[in-house]
Chains A and B, each alone.
Chain A
Amino acid sequence: MTITLNHFSAAAVFALFASIVFGITHRENTRDMVRYGLYCFAMFLGGVLAAGWAMWLLRR
């Protein structure tokens, strides 16, 4: 079985699972874990989008 993900979906899957682990391991209580996990996820995806637009601008 071979799964083919495009760049964005691979980054989104990576961001999702890495954020879950970061949230659980870096905070003490459940509420903070959820908040930190969401923050990491937003930062990962935000970073991907920002880097994408930066490369688009550099290419022009």
Chain B
Amino acid sequence: MANSTAEKTKAASAEPVSMMSVLAPAVGWLIPGAGHMIQKRWIRGLLLFISIATLFVLGLAMQGRIYKANGGDILDILGFIGDVGAGGLYIVTLAADWGQGAIAFATADYGTKFMIVAGLLNFIAVADAYHIAIGKKQ
């Protein structure tokens, strides 16, 4: 039993890194769902894109605040990590200087959380795209 576990671990570590196992997570991070689409999981990729992009855009429309890279408060750092998960959506938002957050709107805080969650969900989607690429998942 111990031998078979050791053999499996050895075999797994000996597997060469395929091009897709690097490309799928990278593309999936940049464009939510694209990591699945380039592996011909069209419907899954499309649903992931719609879900993550809609959540992020709704957050922006609710006047949510986008976190920039910072070394200050721990919650600000965690907010940045969550936001950056949205990849291209985050980059476009920063470049266009959107997501400044309007204190006047009570729902702006919901919007901020929507954008963080969209980024975190994209991290999960990226991990899933990687698992498909290495053959761990269908």
Contact = CB atoms under 8 A, between A and B. Distances in A.
Q: Do A and B come from one complex?
A: yes
B100 interface: no
Interface in B107-135: 107, 110, 114, 117, 121, 124-125, 127-128
Given A2-B105, A4-B107, 14 more contacts: A2-B102, A3-B62, A4-B105, A5-B110, A7-B110, A13-B58, A17-B54, A17-B55, A18-B121, A21-B121, A21-B124, A25-B124, A25-B127, A28-B137
Interface of B is mostly: helix
B110 A17 contact: no
Interface of A: 1-5, 7, 10, 13-14, 17-18, 20-22, 24-25, 28-29
Interface of B: 44, 47-48, 50-52, 54-55, 58, 61-63, 102, 105, 107, 110, 114, 117, 121, 124-125, 127-128, 137-138
B117 A28 contact: no
